[in-house]
Structure formats: C-alpha cells, structure tokens
Structure 1
Amino acid sequence: MIARAPYLFLLLIIVPDLYFDLHYWRHRYSGTKRLIYWIPTIVLIALTLKFTYEQEFIPEDTTLIFSYLLMLGLISVPKMVYMLCSIAGLGISRLVRLLKRNKHSKPKNYGNLVGWLATLFIWYAVLYGTLVGFYKLDTGWKHCYTSPNVPHAFAGYKIIQFSDLHVGTMKGDRQWILKRLVDSINAQKPDLIVFTGDLQNVRPKDLYDHKDLLSSLKAKDGVYSVLGNHDYDKYMHPTDDREVKQCKETIALERSFGWHVLLNEHCTISRGNEHITIAGMENDGDGKVFPKFGDINKTLNGVKGFTIMLAHNPIAWREKIIPDGRAELTLSGHTHAMQFSFFGWNPIALLGKEWYGWYEEGAQSLYVTSGAGALIPWRFGSTAEIVTIELRSNL
C-alpha cells in the first residue's frame, strides 16, 4: 500500500513540520524541546520506510499499519491542512496590507483560525470514523426496480446485494460485524443473494476463519458472486503462477460456501415458464492497478430476456455494458462510496464518475453500493450497507 507512493507519504509527513519548525518551533523552543516536537515525525518516517519495502500490499498482521494510518490521520493530515490554511491566510493578509498601502499595518492571519477549525474537524472525523463509523451498518435500503421487461412471475422478487466485505479486516474481535451482516441478510428471507466482489483483503487465507459464517447465507435461489480486484491477489506482487494458484483457491473457497461464482458467464433462474438471467462479469479495471479480465461477449453469449449483470467495478457499465445493451440492471461495488461523504456529498462527484447510488442511461440502470466492509477500518458519512432490491413489472 505505502510502496505505491512512498514519496507522497513522506512529503505529507515532513513538509508540515518543516513549516512549523521554520515559523514557530525554532523561535520558541531550545534544542531539546524542539527535538521533542519532531519525534512523532521521526517515528512516522521510520514506519513509512519500513512499509515501503514490504513485499505485500498489506501485512498479514494489520495492527501496525492501521496504527500508522491512524497516526497520519491525527497528526500529519491536520498539520498539512493547517499549513495550507496558514500559508493562504498569510498571502491574503499581505495582499490586504499592499492594497491599504500601509507597510506598517499587520492584518491578522485568519488562515490560522481556519486551520485550527479544520484540525478539530479532522480529529473528529478520524476518531468518529475509526471508533463509530466503521461499525455502523445500514440495513434499511429497499429499492423497487420497475420495468416492463420483468416477467410477471418475478414481480415482488427480492434480491439482496452486498459487496466489498474485506473479511481480513473482520478477524478476531471484529468477527461480530460479519455475523451481524449474515444474520441481517438471512432475516429478510431473500429470493436471491448477490455478492459483487472483494471478499478478501489480499489473500485467500483471510477467508478460512469466516467459512462457517459465509456458508450460512441462505436464499431460495442461492448466492451468486463475482470476483473483485482484491480477489485476484494482484496486491501481493506474485509471480504469474502464484497468482493463478491463489485466485483458484479463492474461487474454490467461495464455491465451498455454496456460492455460485460467475466468471464471465451467466445462469438462468426460472419461475414456471418465465425466467430471468443473472450474469457475472470478471473485474474490468484499467489493466494496470486493477485487473482487467471482463469479457462481456462471453458473459452474455446467448442471453435473452431480463438480465441482471454483476460487475464489481462500475466503470464497466459505461465502457462495456451500456454499449452492449443486453443487461438492463447492473449491480456494482468497488468504490465503498469513498468511505467519506459530507452531508451526502463527496468531491469524487465532480469527476462525473459513478461512485454511489442509482444511475440511469436510457433503458439501463446501475446501482453502486457503498459496500459492507473496508480494507481500512474507517468510514465517515458513507455507512456500510446491505441493499434490498425488489423487482416489479409495470405491464
């Protein structure tokens, strides 16, 4: 994780302290006291260098790296934000002095005040998201999907979607989170359960402790799943042979739970003489950071009638699913709803990407769930969820 951009982490850690040292510490403190203020930064630099040379995307024992990320959120990020606010405020105060043409006046730097307020908010967001937000689960989202193409026999058909469990983060004393989720899903007695990828963190080993729980998911027509980018083990820097072996292990484990793993394929669910199709496309990312194995022609070969597509990464919807036109409803995950929103808004929305909720394009629809877990145990404003979708026909 850190090895992908170690210089950015180091800049985040070091630059604010250089600013603080230049403008505050060296004027107020002696050598020893001044050094004390640098200790957290020295610790963070040492940890950054340690994680830079880790071969795995995330260590098997996550305690240290999660502590490191918490320190970044409580120390380095607030310092960086304060520094930027202070610099902006300093620039504005000098501009005001220039406009007043009074070199002796010293307008207040209100950027420092803004910086302190921002710091308080960041501390609150980090602590709330770690201690409270990550453990919340929204089970109340029920959506009715209405279409003239839904067969009458499937009117009222209940589908539960969940995604992005990252069960490696739910081990030990966090396993109750997964049990709560499984109990909540089973309590709704769904017709169908679909899982839209990222079951593990980075290794199949994550799944063994949760085998009994994951096997206990029940629906009338079963559990269907697709692989997410983390399920391919791309983040372990494996050789090709090892990657294939571990991906096969993940697939075998999911099937041992009684799940139907769809690998660029589809299946038919019937009610009398009527049926719907459940299709599952493999992860279709950029081919560099995220695996790109999706084959829509193979997935939908011979498909007719109302079709639901499971596709982990929502970018596949615009790139492949809409142009193909055969899948009317697509269910995706991957984004985690960015694990952050402020009154329901996230900056990613400015990019026009499908990041959370419902999207429509002509006769085709997409739902992107916020997911039910996370690799990093933190959420603020983007609560984990399980989603109930009820099919209806308007003919």
Structure 2
Amino acid sequence: MRKNRFITTLMITCGTLAFALQLGMQDTYAATRSMNVNEWLQQCRSICVKVTQEKAVYSGKGCPTSYFDKRFKRSRYGKRTRLHCADYVSWCLQRYKVIPTGQRFWVKGQKIKGQNAKQIKKSKKIQRIMIAKKGIPASQLVQRTGTKSLKKGDMVSVVRKTGSGHHIQIYAGTDENGKMIFYMVSHIATMGGKDTRLDLTKMTTQSRDPYSKDPRIAMIIRVKGLKYIDFFKVTTTAGDHGTIDETRNIKWGGSGTFHITPDDGYRISTFKVDGKIVKISKTAKSYTIRNVKATHRIDVTFEKDPNAPEKPDTPEQPSQPDESGRPSSSDAQNPDSDKTDNGEKDNGEADSASESKSVGVGGATGNDALEEDGE
C-alpha cells in the first residue's frame, strides 16, 4: 500500500512538473504589455517574422497546433509548417496575453466560430463591434470618429459584397504616403498562391483583402485599453554655464540626439535621465536616447574644467595714424597726446589747466580758498 501511494505521489509530481515546463515553453514568446498600440502591432509583426523564418505556407487546413511557441518549427511537422488567417490572429492575441495560451477562433462575417468561441465572446479584454452584415469599405470607416471607426491595431472580419466570406486581418495604420496597411496570412501574402510559402513583405504591406482592393469590414475586434499615442515628449533642462538642445517629441520606438554645449572653460558635471545618473564623458558633445516608448526627462549640469587652458592677457594695441597723418581718436585718451613736437603742451591748454587747478570750493580762486581755510 505504501509503495503504491509513493508511486502515485511520484507520478502526480512528475505530471505537475511536466505541465509547468509546458507552460514555460508556451510563454517563451509571451510579450510584456505596455498597452500601446504600436507595441501590440510590433508583436503582431514579430509573429510574421517567425512564421516566414520557419518557411510556413498558407493553408486552409490551418496549423495542427493551437499554440504559438518555440515548438512551431519545420522539424516538428515534417519540414512543412502551415497556418491560416485565424491561426495568425489567435497567436497574436495569445502572445500579447489577451487570450489564454492555446485558445483559437475563426470568424465568419459577424460571427466568432471555433471550439473556443464562447471563451472569446466572454473575454473582458476584447471588444466586438458590429459594423454591417455586407460590410463597409475600410476607406470610409477610417474617416469616422467614435467606437465604430476603424482604429490602428483593430482586427477586422472582412466579407465580399454579398456578405459571404471568412477572413480576418489586422489594420496597422497608414504608411508615409497615406496608404492603408494590413497584416495578414492569406494566399495574396504568399510567394505564389495557396500552399506556397508566406512572404514577409506581402504579409506586412497589404492594402487590400483577399476579396477586394478596399476591404469591406463586417465586424471589428478591438483590444481593450490600448493607448493610441505615437509621439512622446523628451524634456531637457540645463544648469548654468552651458546648454542642451530644447525639448522635443519623438516617435514611438524612435531615437533622438541632443547636443550639449558647455561654456568656455566648463564641462559636464552630472547627467541624468529620468532622475537616474547616466555615465557619459565629461566632454561629451551629444547624447542619443533610443527606443523611446514613454516620456523622458534629461537634466545636465556643468562645472569648471580643471584641464581648460587659461586665457592669455590681451596686450594693448598701439595706435595707428589715420590717412591725414594725425593720431587716431584713441590717442585722446593718451595723456601725452596733447604735447607738441617739442614735448611741451600748447599754451592755451596750459593756461586752462592752471586756471582749473586754482579753482576751490564754490568756484573761489586759489587765494580766496586759502584765506577761507585760514579763518
């Protein structure tokens, strides 16, 4: 009896460890969630990269596994990995921790189908938005405002003009030319049609759907709580004796270089990003902040540079005569500039000087002043 209990306990323990190990493998590709729409799309694109690296093909049969993890390898499926649009969108939601690992669904018009359809419908992390049974062109929905508008990051169920169809893809916003972009798995995103390898460029740059050039959207599935912020402010401050480039906005995931200019004879004393000291050279000319995904603050202070060379004294420049041969106006400040060629002062200037010296308090002459002092 004791032996049987021991074996039973051992089997339960091993089973628990195996299950935990399996979960760990499944979470290998799990992403952290900042709830920014750009990060959500980045995760969706990373799955496109993964499936093309594994030389996956588009197939209406879908992938044998409902999990997206490191086990999605060609070697596991006889060197033939395959998936369809529902696999792709389900894996995106799993990776972003919107739905549990292993759940999968597919769409048909305004309906959610599949063995996990009930769980998906009850999820508090996604919102289903009904648009129209026969769909409305994406170009019209993107112009709307409010809940029934098309927003960056939305998963869209698209249909034909008749309302038939079962395809889902992800709206990724517009490119620099204003062209709408969708991420998808479809025969139009392959190298040569159905059952051929998926192409990364075609998966991430499509502006249409399998049915039409302007996708007709019947239903939108939206991740709740996404933040639609594309630019973040990087605030800068500088102490005395130097400057740094002014505050600016930087696009999500982008970089920004800020130039630092100390005054002559000064160098960087402290450099902080978000209140934390960053070690940079005391004589650095610039600082680049990379992969910006939130607001930041840069503070820099300056100090005397002990290695700065001392400024030499500037010698006085001798006066130069003008074209007429006379001394320049600066000679008026020279006490000897009023002398004649013989070295003596002009008589008129001398008399004026002697008179000015004899003037006392109240304008009295020299003798009067002496008398007043003697009283």
Q: TM-score, normalised by structure 1?
A: 0.21
Q: TM-score, normalised by structure 2?
A: 0.21
**Greater share of residues in strand:** 2
Q: Which structure has more RCO (C-alpha within 8 Å, separation ≥ 6)?
A: 1
